[in-house]
Amino acid sequence: MNSSVIAELEGTLVKDPDPFPYFMLIAFEASGPIRFSLLLLFWPVIRLLDLLGMKEASLRLTIFIAIAGLPKSEIEYVGRAVLPKFYMDNLNNDAWKIFSRYEKKVVVTRTPRVMVERFLKMHLGANEVIGSELIFNRFGFATGWVRDIRSISDRVDRLFGNEEMSLALGRWIGFDSPTFVSLCKNRCHERLTMQQEDGHIPKQPHPVIFHDGRLVKHPKPITALLILLWFPIAIILAIIRVPIGLAIPLRHQRNYMSPILGYRVLTKNPPNSSSVSAVSSKKGVLYVCNHRTVMDPLFLSRVLGQNIPAVVYSMSPIWRKIAPIRTVHLTRSRSKDAEMIAKELENGDLVICPEGTTCREPFLLRFSSLFAELTDDIVPVAINYKPQLFHATTARGRKVLDAIFFLMNPLNVYEISFLKKISMEDSSIAGKSSYEIANHVQRLLADALGFQCTDFTRKYKYRLLAGNDGIVAS
């Protein structure tokens, strides 16, 4: 049997047949709220064209409003770093189970190929992606036009030639040539029955570990409207919350100011002074946390009710100056950073996030072992964060906006769990190396959070989001 499958993306590999929300993401993440609003304003017209059977005109109008004038690099970045997360959340697992068992996997979509190719090739293992092609001018900006959408079926025909596919998965709606279906030996429902009976265990799709962008929710029209209505209120709230957060002492914020400041903190096993006292009275305790947002050290200080300095790798200079806790900015020079951390520990307690960058998904990056070389007084702290509308940290956004977007959420929920202090048996006193200690702390935090440990580093994250990992859209 020929082991080849061709599948439609919209409504088959992903549940939602409407690509409109993904263009809303392109509009917001690559351009901003104005284009986002404009595209939503035209949604009734786009929907009317769909209902009248003018699907091609509807799609062309959507593409033009969402993409016209955008640099090619911006569109590619959103397609690579933002959209895969939303496509994965909308994955049709039943279709994936069938799609994954074939050797040659081809996906057909009327969405511009640059938007979907990264997700389909990296996460679903597709060999070929046939979609509409955006037209760019000689300066690298999108004109808003696409090459003839009707040619998709012809390109499928050319790809396979006289070869017959083993299976086609799709709704068979919106394709203008019967060639797409006639190339297939079996209908979807016939092969579905065979797959369910043969006991085959499908592979799992490659998970989305790193992604970027500000929006948390999938911006379907109603959700997008709510985001837009909230946006001006959110900006006002953020402006009000900043001076309040800076003026009110930490101990009062913890007890009385949470609703006004827009956060709720769930704390588990908060330490007392005797449970975390340092082995040496000359040194402070090092709180080692996983890293979810730029606010992690601040919330740890709020829970403890005291100003604990934090080691930071990348933070806006403005926020470093006005932050209610003192920050120690590292240089990423191992010797210089070790000297600074050791000096801070001599003065008291300290907070550090050895992942070096944030991770939004339930995974932990590899921990730098530097912290384990400097002290045995280590208290692991497991942190989880649940935003409602906006992500507080992005890989390439302006760092000065991170705290603003954090405060623009109606409510930010933090879960902070203090684990037991590292025992002597798991420290350097027992002969453990710094790498063993760092890996041990990573595993403890992962188990407490229900996350998975990875060997990925900060450099790998940024290389992946930049498209320098060997899987680049052609």
> For the segment 18-43, what is each residue's pLDDT rounded down to a tens digit?
999 999 999 999 999 999 999 999 99
Res. 162: pLDDT tops 80: no
Hey, what domains does the chain have and what are their CATH numbers?
4-197 (3.40.50), 221-465 (3.40.1130)
Contact 324, 241 (CB under 8 A): no
Q: What is the pLDDT of residues 56-84, one digit of tens each?
A: 899 999 999 999 999 999 999 999 999 99
Q: What is the pLDDT of residues 191-231, one digit of tens each?
A: 443 344 455 555 789 999 999 999 999 999 999 999 999 99
125: left (phi over 0), alpha (psi -120 to 50) or beta: left
Helix (H) or strand (E) holding 239: helix 221-247
Distances (CA, A) of 382 to 260, 289, 360, 461: 25, 6, 14, 21
Contact 162, 183 (CB under 8 A): no
Would you give the distance in Å from CA 338 to the centre of its chain? 31
Residue 220: name the closest of 39, 13, 32, 407 by CA.
Answer: 39
Contact 63, 114 (CB under 8 A): no
Residue 464: name the closest of 123, 59, 226, 86 by CA.
Answer: 123
Q: For helices 33-41 and 221-247, what crossing angle results, to 10°?
A: 150
Instruction: Give me the percent of the chain exceeding a pLDDT of 70.
Output: 85
Instruction: Give me the percent of the chain exceeding a pLDDT of 90.
Output: 59
Which pLDDT belongs to residue 283? 79
CA-based R_g, the chain, Å:
26
Spell out the residues 6+ positions from residue 204 whose beta carbon is closer than 8 angstroms to its own: none
Distances (CA, A) of 387 to 131, 240, 413: 34, 19, 7
Contact 171, 12 (CB under 8 A): yes
Task: Quote the CA–CA distance of 109 and 441 in Å, as a whole number.
Answer: 44
Res. 112: pLDDT tops 70: yes
Distances (CA, A) of 409 to 86, 319, 322, 387, 392: 20, 18, 21, 7, 9
Q: For helices 55-67 and 43-51, what crossing angle results, to 10°?
A: 160
- What backbone phi and psi angles, to 5 degrees, belong to 20? -55, -45
Q: What is the pLDDT of residues 315-326, one digit of tens each?
A: 777 777 778 888
Confidence of residue 302 (pLDDT cuts 50, 70, 90): confident
Which pLDDT belongs to residue 254? 66
Residue 95: name the closest of 188, 199, 200, 217 by CA.
Answer: 188
| Number of helices and strands in the chain (H, E) | 20, 15
Res. 289: pLDDT tops 60: yes
Which pLDDT belongs to residue 312? 84
Task: Quote the CA–CA distance of 166 and 191 in Å, as a whole number.
Answer: 9
Q: Which residue carries 């096993």 as its tokens?
A: 269
Task: Quote the CA–CA distance of 169 and 184 in Å, as a whole number.
Answer: 10
Helix (H) or strand (E) holding 345: helix 334-347
